[in-house]
């Protein structure tokens, strides 16, 4: 695969066009972070408000990834990704024209929807590459797409400075942010007119039922309900944060109304899950061994994504301001230094997928990488102003490598669970990455950077324990045979039969 990677033909062309779509969504999603302190000064925001905006940037990605996953499985990645890219112009322009904290909160909540684009490409890549190359292909898609965070933190401050003459000599952050949305919308049109959902002759498989994930056992059903509640809890946590002192975006009464609405949403999700799985729950339907999958394995992958991608989201959101304040740097310089974290996505996330493909055990790849994440953030806990900046950068890059490699290893497994429901499963796992980001940034907003780093370290080490003792090696995870029939496809997309 790697020998043909730059051929730009057939599936490789689709891979390149799709990772670039993801790249643009990430540039948009993180276009606020490099300007956080600058915008705070210009709009007279309190430090707590700036941190809260960072949480808002992640929040709606949680339900959006679930919804996008369902739309994706029904309509296909070509239409879904194209519309999402064009929509990106809305929150980008809203951010660029914001004049106060409330407008920024609304614009960044909408921006969270753009962050759900990752799920779409997971299904697109899964349609074009065989299981034995899944880790490598998904790692390249995710890693090179995540490189968009580096593009935002490194390039956007330079654009803002270069065009400062249009803003009276001040950093032209408004133009830089607006441009990201305009470019994404243009590429959305290009993507729609130049890709296909599947290779010629292959049928795009859709789930038989829509509205919720179809599971294959009663235990898996209840595990899914608990998983859904966790995502609702993260949104409730955000509502609580928006009501706290120095924020006051919501009143106490409004917070309770939001909580009530979230409980209603959870009840609706539970009803739809029951509706989709009713025949299973009342005993009228059973699944053949080749059709079964164990949701507990999905839950462990959700936890791995909390510890790797969740920590990446938190780090990318807070590192520019962290370096600026810890070492007394200008925001442009601090942004460029902080960009070393997302920069590694170019190689680290693909390497996680490649290692998962080549090591011979996806389970132990995930375990070892999770240990690396924990060790990295434990070291980051001790960074302070007395450290040499190169050493702080080195520790940051150590954390970045393992967190991003963990993302690649996670999605080397996800598309192999159940092919026709890949969008929904990828959406669930992906949403838990944002769950982690929201929880971590909430902890950061209430404490400080060392506490955040130590929290992320402990979570990763617990995750490593879970992977070592409870994650099971996927079946057929190194199969290279082409999908020639529906039966073969089902066998290739099954992780394991429930015991």
State mean pLDDT over 106-123: 90
The answer, yes or no, to whether residue 479 has pLDDT greater than 80, is no
What is the average pLDDT across 256-265?
Answer: 94
Please, is 163 exposed, middle or buried when counting C-beta atoms within 10 Å of its C-beta (0-12, 13-18, 19+)? middle
pLDDT at 79 over 80: yes
Per-residue confidence band for 476, with pLDDT thresholds at 50, 70 and 90 = low
**From CA 397, how far away is CA 150, in angstroms rounded?**
13
With 0-12 CB in 10 A as exposed, 13-18 as middle and 19+ as buried, what is 390?
exposed
pLDDT-based confidence at residue 122 (cuts at 50, 70, 90): confident
What the block records as the tokens of 184 is: 């994404």
| Predicted pLDDT of residue 490 | 40
What percent of the chain stands above pLDDT 90?
Answer: 49
In this predicted structure, what is the pLDDT of residue 488?
39
pLDDT tens readout for residues 263-320: 999 999 999 999 999 999 999 998 888 778 888 889 999 999 999 999 998 998 889 8
Quickly state the pLDDT bin for 427 (edges 50, 70, 90).
Answer: confident
Task: Average the pLDDT over 89-117 and give the result.
Answer: 93
| Whether pLDDT at 462 is above 90 | yes
Confidence of residue 489 (pLDDT cuts 50, 70, 90): very low
Residues contacting residue 142 through CB under 8 Å, at least 6 positions apart: 19, 22, 118, 121, 345, 349, 350, 353, 407, 408, 411
pLDDT of residue 483: 46
Give the pLDDT of residue 147.
85
Model confidence pLDDT, tens digit, residues 387-417: 999 999 999 999 999 999 999 899 888 877 7
Query: What average pLDDT does the chain have?
Result: 87
pLDDT confidence band for 485 (50 / 70 / 90): very low
Q: What is the mean pLDDT of residues 133-138?
A: 84
Q: Once rounded to an integer, what is the mean pLDDT over residues 204-228?
A: 86
d(CA 233, CA 266): 10
pLDDT at 497: 36
Average pLDDT over residues 213-242: 91
Return the SS3 of 138. Answer: helix
**pLDDT category of residue 1 using cuts at 50, 70 and 90:** low
- pLDDT recorded at residue 480: 59
């Amino acid at each position: 695969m790697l020998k043909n990677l730059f051929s730009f033909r057939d599936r490789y062309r689709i891979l390149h066009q799709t990772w670039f779509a993801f790249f643009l969504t990430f540039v948009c999603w993180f276009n606020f972070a490099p300007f956080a302190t600058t915008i705070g000064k210009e709009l007279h925001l309190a430090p707590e408000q700036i941190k809260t905006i960072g949480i808002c940037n992640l929040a709606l990605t949680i339900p959006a990834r679930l919804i996008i996953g369902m739309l994706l499985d029904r309509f296909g990645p070509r239409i879904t990704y194209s519309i999402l890219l064009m929509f990106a112009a809305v929150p980008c322009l809203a951010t660029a024209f914001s004049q106060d904290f409330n407008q920024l909160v609304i614009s960044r909540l909408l921006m969270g929807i753009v962050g759900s684009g990752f799920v779409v490409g997971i299904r697109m890549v899964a349609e074009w590459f065989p299981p034995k190359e899944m880790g490598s292909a998904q790692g390249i898609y995710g890693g090179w797409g995540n490189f968009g965070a580096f593009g935002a933190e490194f390039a956007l401050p330079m654009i803002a400075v270069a065009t400062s003459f249009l803003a009276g000599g001040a950093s032209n952050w408004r133009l830089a942010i607006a441009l990201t949305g305009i470019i994404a919308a243009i590429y959305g049109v290009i993507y729609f007119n130049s890709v296909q959902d599947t290779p010629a002759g292959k049928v795009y498989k859709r789930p038989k039922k829509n509205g919720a994930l179809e599971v294959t056992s009663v235990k898996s059903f209840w595990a899914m309900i608990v998983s859904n509640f966790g995502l609702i809890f993260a949104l409730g946590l955000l509502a609580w944060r928006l009501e706290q002192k120095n924020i006051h975006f919501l009143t106490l009464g409004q917070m309770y109304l939001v909580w009530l609405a979230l409980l209603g949403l959870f009840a609706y999700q539970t009803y739809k899950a029951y509706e989709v799985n009713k025949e299973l729950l009342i005993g009228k339907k059973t699944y053949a061994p080749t059709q079964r999958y164990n949701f507990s394995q999905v839950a462990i992958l959700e936890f791995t994504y909390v510890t790797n991608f969740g920590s990446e989201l938190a780090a990318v959101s807070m590192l520019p301001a962290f370096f600026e304040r810890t070492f007394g740097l200008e925001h442009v310089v601090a942004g460029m230094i902080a960009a070393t974290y997302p920069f590694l996505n170019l190689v680290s996330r693909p390497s996680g997928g490649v290692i998962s493909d080549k090591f011979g055990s996806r389970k132990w790849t995930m375990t070892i990488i999770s240990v690396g994440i924990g060790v990295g953030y434990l070291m980051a806990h001790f960074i302070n102003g007395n450290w040499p900046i190169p050493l702080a950068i080195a520790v940051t890059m150590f954390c970045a490598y393992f967190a991003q490699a963990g993302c690649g290893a996670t999605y080397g497994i996800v598309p192999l669970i159940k092919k026709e429901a890949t969008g929904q499963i990828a959406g669930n796992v992906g949403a838990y990455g944002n769950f982690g980001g929201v929880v971590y940034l909430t902890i950061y907003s209430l404490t400080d950077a060392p506490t955040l780093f130590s929290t992320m370290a402990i979570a990763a080490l617990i995750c490593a324990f879970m992977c070592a003792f409870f994650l099971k090696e996927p079946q057929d995870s190194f199969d290279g045979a082409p999908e020639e029939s529906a039966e073969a496809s089902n066998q290739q997309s099954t992780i394991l039969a429930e015991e």
